[in-house]
Amino acid sequence: MTPPSPGQNATILAVELTDFSAIELRDAIRSGETSAADAARACLARIEEVDSGENGVNAFIQTFPERALEQAMKIDERVAKEGAETVGPLAGVPVAIKDNMCLAHGRTTCGSRMLENYESPFTATAVQRLIDAGAIVLGKTNLDEFAMGSSTEHSYFGPTRNPWDRSRVPGGSSGGSAAAVAARMAPLALGSDTGGSIRQPAGLTGVVGCKPTYGRVSRWGLVAFASSLDQIGPFGRTVSDVALALDVICGFDELDSTSVNTSAPACAQAVDAPINKLRVGVPKQARNEKNHPAVAEALERAIGVYQSLGAQIVDIDLPTIEYGIAAYYIIAPAEASSNLARFDGVRYGRRAEIGAHEDLISLYSRSRAEGFGEEVQRRIMLGTFALSSGYYDAYYTTALRARRLVKEDFDRVFATEGGGPGVDVVLSPSTPTPAFRIGEKADDPLAMYLEDYYTVTANLAGIAGVSVPAGLASMDDGVRAPVGVQLFSPPFSEERLMRAANMLESGLDWNDRRPPL
Amino acid sequence: MAEIQSIELIVGLEIHVELATRTKMFTRVLSPAHPDAGEPAPNTLIDPVVLALPGALPVLNKAALEMAMLVGLALECEIAEFTKWDRKSYYYPDLPKSYQISQYDLPICFDGSFDLPAPTTDEPARIKQVGIIRAHLEEDTGKLLHELPGGERVEYSIVDFNRAGTPLLEIVTQPDFDNADDVVTFGQALRNICRFLEVSEGVMQRGHMRFEPNINTILTLDDGRIVKTPIVEIKNLNSFRALRGAIEYEFAEQPERWKRDGKEMGPGAKSTRGWDDVKGATVLQREKEDAHDYRYFPDPDLIPVVVDEAWREEVRSRLPELPHRRMKRYMDDYALTVKEAAALTDEREVCFFFERTVDVIRQKLESILPERAGKQAANMLLQYGAKRANEAGCLISELGISPEQVAGIVSLRDGDTIGSSAADELFGLLCESDEDAEQIAEKSNLLQVTDSGQLEAWVEQVIADPANAKAVEDVRGGKIAAIGRLVGGVMKLSGGAADAKAVREMLVAKLGS
């Protein structure tokens, strides 16, 4: 393939480029087969095509077309002048960033009216690492306000639609990033995962999404929802792309006290090597009768793949999965009530107009009532209540105890000593059901919270998790909707996690399926 | 109604010390409590962490923790092996995160005690111990202002976040004080300790230290009943005068208040008052201690701190000899009075200057006894230095004279080659010169004249002066006290250069008494 001249067969070329994986695109840019500028143009054109309008996906809150092209051309210039080896591992790869990560360009809204016009003076460490690796930031993606939700319906900027069926949700809260990758608007995206906010939308949109170990990726510049649970992670259409992105964003950062100073993973290099005699634990709780039939089927299909690859399937018991949601919905709102207290209308963000004779309390309460949506307000109230004197022990302390039990449960199944089953990874569905309809659960917070049933435990335990596409469900209305399965691995074993996920992907090949868009 | 027979005062203290770390407690911005910050314009010592911008995270400044440990160790506190950070939540425009990072149940320092130095009189010292409940680290808030810099009134409030995030050490004492003097003595001793530890410049006007006494009284009534008046907390006192004033005011006022309203100590009876410096009275701020729920919980952005023995002992090894111990040593070794010893330990630099001077004297005059060297150095600095420093508005150590030069004066005095008033003059000259004491004394004709021919001429002249006839007569008649006038006359003639002792001896010999 020779480098195309501008304008020539642009449409056909664009379709091809948007189908490239991040690694393919990077290699093509390095080799001169294509250019970073064309890759950026192709993605921007795709965004133009499918994201806006009444029935658009609405994955992006804002895009930076000029800046993206400018940055891309700089990459091309470097490839031409200094050589392909001088550009980073993501040279020219367009990426989408969830809009709760700070970027010193454009706005950082968190999907909230509170920060509708907020511009951050600094860039999040994880985002900066992508940029330093040569990635081109296309724009900021939609999310449930302040990452609180499982459907990306709770955004001040309107819901994001599932590229597989635009009447359905893409999951959330990183629904914009998931949809952007699924709909070929970007080969890579960053999301954040506090209770499943990467893995659940990855499952519902048919892409790969990973939540690294707590402490792996710096949280500097990630607008905090629940500090002890939040973790940034990548979306991609292949496990290899996600592995590469992990290598780029992981690593110690002295600006985040909870960042762990350990050697960065080398997932990209390891991902293709299958693990010999892999021990895959399947909790009996994963075979829940409430699972959608397609979800149950996908799980068995994944088990089959592992068996065919010589892995050993181990039946395990993780009884504390049952405590997960309850503990999570105390701890996360408690931290959120405190983290979001800074949005008071005093220094930045939305400030309500108050009369000359109204007091400070009016300024606070009106600004917050105007700035925050219903779900955010609900969680602030839940968390404030849980931390109140007289209730603290009954709720917060108890939830911390449950969290410790969840952690110990995982420690036990990963351990070999003490008669532990010593599994390498744990396999479960990503979500109990495929994507639901927009509005279906909007008025039923409890049903919405159960979306995180399979994912929250990884956040509570601080372990790594990844969702891999594992099938398409035929829904009542004839729509075909993706389902994903999820793997967990012990803290700081991302290489193992990516290798196990790659084995599954190679045996399933669902990531080749494209949404009808 | 029963009459009050006796009143007992009970005071406990909370002290906030701004620790002079170079950067703030959780970020790299320069801290206003550090001398490098100078006089910053409003809202210049800020960054995303200070302003609590979305996505900003705190990272602990280790120096703040070590300074807290130093103060704790100086107050004989235990140092926690495991300590953590808690969020204290409340809304106020000067509190950027709407929570303050503090320490709730596991403070870095706890269970200490401090022996009060004796009051600055020459009474025999009495040992009085003050219990230290805890000392914890927290971050300071910004400042809410109601007028523009320069004083122009505005219709709204403005905020200066320079102070926000400065490390504060909050020290809490037991209610062990029963008089205002002891509270002030403790406050001053603590300020000196902080200066010696170099954790604070201790400039009260700049808010480096703020005091909040909790005060109440115990009334013994003539019917035998004992009544405790409600506890009053006085907020934010930043001078020792205010501290003393507020305590004395409450001591006098609380029994009167009780007579008026009959309120006694108990749940919900605590009130908060401020000090009005102009009226010299405390002013009610909050009637009932609001049952404020701060919703403390561990800060998930920060990791707990484990202080192992090696770290703790390494910090302990940095403890200098503390001012109250130095004071005692000066009194024991140099026979200084309490007042003298206090004056020399009040400022770290003066204290070090004094000690260097003693060292040089002992090198210079090998035969001199340590006690005499200490006393001589103290005399020089406190007699000749203190008044000059006072006039110049600086420390004795900043006058320009060096310890070597002071030792030179001591040496000249010790050999009787210079008189007392000449020594004073020489001290003044040396503040402006780098030359040796001996050289300057010689150049300026300050050395004593012991040449008997010259002395005799002056003595004869004074005896012959008709104005002195009466004095001469008196001395001859045995009224030896009158000799002072004659000695003074000779000294005057000599321009202070005569050796007063020799003059006196010569007069006595001549006038035959």
pLDDT at A3 > cutoff 70: no
For chain B, the average pLDDT equals: 91
Per-residue pLDDT, A9: 45
pLDDT at B446 > cutoff 90: no
Q: pLDDT band for position A120 (50/70/90)?
A: very high
Per-residue pLDDT, B36: 92
pLDDT at B70 > cutoff 80: yes
For chain A, the average pLDDT equals: 94
Q: CA dist A468 to A426, A500, B118, B259, B282, Å?
A: 13, 10, 75, 78, 69
Structure-token pair, residue B45: 């010592």
Q: Which residues of chain B does A335 touch, with a Cβ-Cβ cutoff of 8 Å?
A: 300
Q: How many other CB atoms are there within 10 angstroms of residue A285's CB atom?
A: 18
Active site residue A98: yes
Asked if residue A286 belongs to a domain, the reply is no
pLDDT at B126 > cutoff 70: no
Give the integer Cα–Cα distance in Å for B209 and B194.
10
Query: Mean pLDDT, to the nearest integer, of B168-197?
Result: 95
Among B10, B14, B6, B16, residue whose Cα is nearest residue B247? B10
Domain span at residue A244 reads 10-268
Contacts of B98 (CB under 8 A, 6+ apart): A341, A342, A344, B52, B89, B90, B91, B92
pLDDT at B448 > cutoff 80: no
Structure-token pair, residue B2: 């029963």
Query: Mean pLDDT, to the nearest integer, of A155-169?
Result: 97
B268-283 pLDDT, tens digit per residue, is 888 999 999 999 999 9
B343-356 pLDDT, tens digit per residue, is 999 888 999 999 99
* Nearest CB partner across the interface for A338, out of B48, B60, B89: B89
SS (H, E, C) A281-350: EEEHHHCCCCCCHHHHHHHHHHHHHHHHCCCEEEEECCCCHHHHHHHHHHHHHHHHHHHHHHCCCCCCCC
CATH number at residue A233: 3.90.1300.10
Per-residue pLDDT, A11: 46
Which numeric CATH code is attached to B452-511? 1.10.10
Give the integer Cα–Cα distance in Å for A171 and A160.
9
Q: What percent of chain A has pLDDT over 70?
A: 97
Per-residue pLDDT, B508: 85
Per-residue pLDDT, B121: 52
A221-239 pLDDT, tens digit per residue, is 999 999 999 999 999 999 9
Per-residue pLDDT, A7: 43
CA A353-A357-A361 angle, to 5 degrees, is: 65
Among A120, A151, A173, A177, the active-site one is A173
Q: Which residues of chain B does A258 touch, with a Cβ-Cβ cutoff of 8 Å?
A: 300-303
A444-494 pLDDT, tens digit per residue, is 888 888 889 999 999 999 999 999 999 999 998 889 999 999 999 999 999
Q: Is the pTM of this model over 0.80?
A: yes
Q: Determine contact: A389 vs chain B, CB below 8 A.
A: yes
pLDDT at A108 > cutoff 90: yes
Q: Where are the domains of chain B?
A: 12-213+291-307, 323-443, 452-511
Could B53 and A101 be called an inter-chain contact, meaning their C-beta atoms sit closer than 8 Å?
no
Please give the tally of structural domains in chain A.
1
Per-residue pLDDT, A5: 45
B337-386 pLDDT, tens digit per residue, is 988 998 999 888 999 999 999 999 998 888 888 888 999 999 999 999 99
Give the integer Cα–Cα distance in Å for B448 and B503.
11
- The one-character DSSP state at B384 is I
Interface of A with B in 355-374 (CB under 8 A): 360, 364
Q: pLDDT band for position B290 (50/70/90)?
A: low
Give the integer Cα–Cα distance in Å for A421 and A409.
11
Asked if residue A472 belongs to a domain, the reply is no
pLDDT at A6 > cutoff 60: no
Per-residue pLDDT, B119: 56
Asked if residue A473 belongs to a domain, the reply is no
| Angstroms from A46 CA to nearest CA on chain B | 30
A342-391 pLDDT, tens digit per residue, is 999 999 999 999 888 888 999 999 999 999 999 999 999 999 999 999 99
Query: Mean pLDDT, to the nearest integer, of B108-135?
Result: 80
A45-54 pLDDT, tens digit per residue, is 999 999 999 9
Q: Of B43 and B453, which is predicted with more confidence?
A: B43
Query: Mean pLDDT, to the nearest integer, of A281-303?
Result: 95
